Amino acid sequence: KSPRSEEGMAALRLLLLAAPALAYEITPCPGITGSEASDAQSSIDNPIDQEPGDCLCVPSTQYNISCPAGFFCPSSGGQFKCTAGFYCPVNVSQPAFCCAGYYCPDASQMIRCPEGSFCPIGVEKAVSCPFGSECPEGTTDVSSNAGAVIGIIVIFLVLWICVCCQKRVKRFHGERRYGTVQEFSHDPKLLSRAEFDAQFTLPEDSETKKVDVKRKSLEEKQMDDPVAEGKVQEGKADPKKALTFDILYKDITLTLSNGRTIMKGASGRFRAGRTCAIMGPSGAGKTTLVTLVMGKAKRTDGTVYINGKQDEMYHYRDEIGFVPQEDIMQRNLTVWDILKFSADYRLPKEFSQKARQEECYRVLKFLEIEHIVNSVIGDEKTRGISGGQRKRVNIGMELVAKPKFLVLDEPTSGLDSVTSLTLASLLQTIARETGISVAAIIHSPSPDTFDKFDDFTLLGVGGTVLYSGERERALEYFESVGFTKPKKMTPADFYLEVSMGRVPRKLDDGRIDVDFDIEILPALWVTYGRDYRSDELKDLPDIHGSPDKESSRKETEIKSDDTEKMIAKKSGFSSWMQKTNRKMKTNASNEWHSIENYVIDCASEFWNWISCKSDGNRKKANFFQIFFICGRRTYFQMYREGSWVWGLFLHVALGLFVGVLITNQFVGPLPVQTCEDGPLQALRSCVLPLQDIYMTLGVFSCWISSFAGMIEGIYTFGAEQVVFWRHTARGLPTIPYFLAKVASDVPKMLINSALFFAGMTLVYFPLGDRADLYGLILVNYWVGYTFGYFVSMIFEPRLRSLWCVIFAMAYAFIFSGFTTTLPNIEDQYGKGLEWLWDMSYMRWGLEAFYVNQMAFYEFLENINSAFSTRNYNPDNFAKNCWIIFGLGLFWLFITFLCLKGCNRTKQK
Ligand SMILES: Nc1ncnc2c1ncn2[C@@H]1O[C@H](COP(=O)(O)OP(=O)(O)OP(=O)(O)O)[C@@H](O)[C@H]1O
Ligand SMILES: [Mg+2]
């Protein structure tokens, strides 16, 4: 054999270090004697049983040259220093990796790994084994880590102690609260608006003070006569200062972008100190009417007057109580938590903690739910309070905020007649005691329940008003226009039947019109209802046509949507074009309007925040107080939700799975000189490490830890979106809420990532800096959480997890620099796409992981080649972690914009 072919064989052997299954003729490691030699020999004899590269030593060559230990002398000539991590006894032509289970402090000696340490292949010093692991002499890798077990136990123990202490504290507070509420029994009355305002709104200058005191005493007198009270209020006080609202709405109209008119010129009134029942067939537009009046939705036409002044209810959203049909509240909180939260963020800042608590006690007592003050609300899965009690809590949430106007959307639905009656009495008492106006949408109330309402608004099909005035006079009106109530029918049913055209109408000439057209009903109200309306509404525009049956049809036909008819006459394409054009124009204008509103809203919230001003009419808790109460509520939620404890075990399991994958399987690149001498095929091995699992491990660790964060993160905002909309519609500022939710996730991130890291290091002992590695796992969790927030903002709940899988996979396998290394991006995907990788936390995470692990191998002469081929920089660990943190902040910012910008109408 020529010396050159010998060289080639030697280089090939080196290449095949990573493929132990191929047994080559290998001689014992020179320089090892006695039992060590036989150990080494036995491992060499059976390379198939060996871990890759365990002890495959390069044969000593038989050249007649003298090559000293610590050097190698290739056949091509020359004598070269054997570099760190390699072993060169006397007379060798090639360096060999220091065997696994041995370490080579210098290249001339190979020492067996002592007890209590372990030595992977190619290392210059032994690594101390972690506490509690079994490391006999010659250990190549650590398979267990008692420190991690202890870490996991300590974390759980601390959490358990915290939960136990918290339980005791909660029980103590709960018992005390229960006692206090019971003692409150002698004073069940609600505060009147005047009493309430006296607690906090007395202005500083005495002039205004006098005026206010006068007004208050006047108000107090009016409380005794609530019916009269509404009249005194009307048109007088400035809505900003008024104690109660008297609301007049005129010609409220809503036409959708498709041309459909849902609300057609509705006019009516909600008077202070009185209750108003809103009734009508299903789909008539009852909910639409109240949302339009309250400014929750944008109307196409119409005016709202508050205390006689043209204004928008939206400006006073923190003064309005809206009880939605669904019981929108956090189901894992207690009745107290829910009421207190409402009182905390909605009551004026002048209210002390004690006053807020008292307000909650008063409402609890008033709604007769004081005995369930410490009960959890519960849901379909977890039994909590009853449906009726939940309805009361729903009302209580608004009542504690002392609104000037209370609207309830079907508060009696799903309740029995006795409970409905009690609820209606409650509403009446609220109006009487506090002096506010109460409007409730109700379906088929019993006569007694119906009698509890002072006023009555009946809507007809198509969003038209058929009656709006005093309840007691409704029967008189309907009889005056020809409808007689059958004896057996309850008044409420009678009105409903009339609105649906099921009651025959007696005409002026005495004839009975059994099949009358219900479209004349609104026109009847406009024409014959003058006497039943207040002065401001005496003259309503006659948009509903004539009450006369025959002409009414014609008029309605002519008046209703002339353009629609014109379009209908035109054929096919041009009609479609016109329709689309109109639709696009409306849509574009709506879009522009909502963008404009969004920008104004965001800017004003930021400005309010910076200038420490309160959003809305009331001066409420400041930024830090809201931040605190939102954080406390989230903490209570977490505390009551036991499932998160099981979630912690899952993080350990995830870490464990990653740890099982990881072993310290790294065989570094060859010394430079060997490469220069080797055949062409061996060049690649000279540049890259022979065996390098760290890239794969990096992808798995970063991918799984960030993915775990994502899956947790989608619930932070996603699980309570509807509750957020409800609160923000009533004036909860978004910034402190948002920051509080994120801040209360931080301890979770710390615990979850610690458990993941502990799980991972249970079976894997990282060679790189362990604190750094934990830091990397933590920032991966952080970016995962923030990305999860973002996903929860823009995708449907059902699809969120799936989107997380897709994004995490794309980040891990496409935009990470794993499958396509960074220098190859341009070649493979074209120019200008690098920013996609720069935006991917995985690209930075992978580099940081690699750098962290490879730091241990920095003694290898050619190690930089491993970094340079991937465009990595060994000094980049901290920088990359900061970049990942920054990307998390970026997603956080986008999430905030989405939280504010998506579903704007629901936040009104
Ligand atoms: N934004 C909207 N887009 C499309 N249709 C709408 C919109 N708002 C309301 N509607 C339609 O207007 C009609 C009235 O709806 P609304 O919810 O006000 O009825 P309702 O009287 O409250 O009915 P129910 O008694 O069943 O609650 C319905 O046909 C509804 O589909
Ligand atoms: Mg409705």
pLDDT along the chain (908 residues), means of 10: 42 41 34 41 39 43 67 78 82 80 86 89 86 83 81 91 88 86 64 62 45 49 40 50 82 85 90 92 91 86 87 83 88 92 88 86 85 88 85 89 89 81 88 88 90 93 90 91 88 91 80 76 86 79 59 42 47 65 69 71 70 64 88 87 82 90 69 62 60 84 94 92 88 90 94 94 85 96 96 93 94 88 84 88 94 86 81 91 96 92 76
Whether the CB-CB separation of 232 and 274 falls below 8 Å is answered with: no
Query: Exposed e or buried b for every residue in 172-191, given b needs 16+ CB within 10 A?
Result: eeeeebbeebeebeeebebb
Give 577 Cα–ligand 1 centroid separation in angstroms: 28
pLDDT of residue 559: 43
Q: Is the CB of 274 within 6 Å of ligand 1?
A: no
pLDDT of residue 195: 65
Q: Is the CB of 577 within 6 Å of ligand 1?
A: no
Q: Is the backbone of residue 541 left (phi > 0), alpha (psi -120 to 50) or beta?
A: beta
pLDDT of residue 615: 58
Name, in order, each residue with C-beta under 8 angstroms of 755's C-beta and a sequence gap of 6 or more: 152, 155, 648, 651, 652, 655
pLDDT of residue 9: 44
The angle subtended at Cα 436 by Cα 239 and Cα 223, nearest 5°, is 110
**Residue pointed to by tokens 């074209």:** 830
C-alpha pair distances (Å), 362 with each of 163, 228, 353: 31, 26, 14
Homologous superfamily of domain range 229-328+404-568: P-loop containing nucleotide triphosphate hydrolases (3.40.50.300)
**Virtual torsion, Cα 255, 256, 258, 259, nearest 10 deg:** 0
Give 410 Cα–ligand 2 centroid separation in angstroms: 7
Which residues, listed in sequence order, are joined to residue 459 by a DSSP beta bridge? 465
C-alpha pair distances (Å), 451 with each of 302, 335, 870: 30, 30, 80
Length of the chain: 908
Phi (first) and psi of residue 449, to 5 degrees: -65, -45
pLDDT of residue 363: 86
Q: Which ligand is nearest to the CA of 283?
A: 1
**Cα gap 581→621, rounded to integer Å:** 47
Best residue for ligand 1 mutational test, from 253, 264, 288 (most atoms within 8 Å of Cβ): 288
C-alpha pair distances (Å), 50 with each of 56, 134, 137, 779: 9, 20, 17, 37
Whether the CB-CB separation of 757 and 147 falls below 8 Å is answered with: no
Atom of ligand 1 nearest to the CA of 463: 14
Give 285 Cα–ligand 2 centroid separation in angstroms: 7
pLDDT of residue 518: 79
Q: Is the backbone of residue 509 left (phi > 0), alpha (psi -120 to 50) or beta?
A: alpha
SS3 letters for 144-197? Answer: CCHHHHHHHHHHHHHHHHHHHHHHHHHHHHHHHHHHHHHHHHHCCCCCCHHHHH
Side chain identity, residue 697: L
Listed residue (30, 22, 49, 47) closest to 102, CA to CA? 30
Best residue for ligand 1 mutational test, from 286, 291, 590 (most atoms within 8 Å of Cβ): 286
Name, in order, each residue with C-beta under 8 angstroms of 37's C-beta and a sequence gap of 6 or more: 28, 29
Q: Is the CB of 286 within 6 Å of ligand 1?
A: yes
Q: Is the CB of 285 within 6 Å of ligand 1?
A: yes
Best residue for ligand 1 mutational test, from 258, 262, 263, 279 (most atoms within 8 Å of Cβ): 262
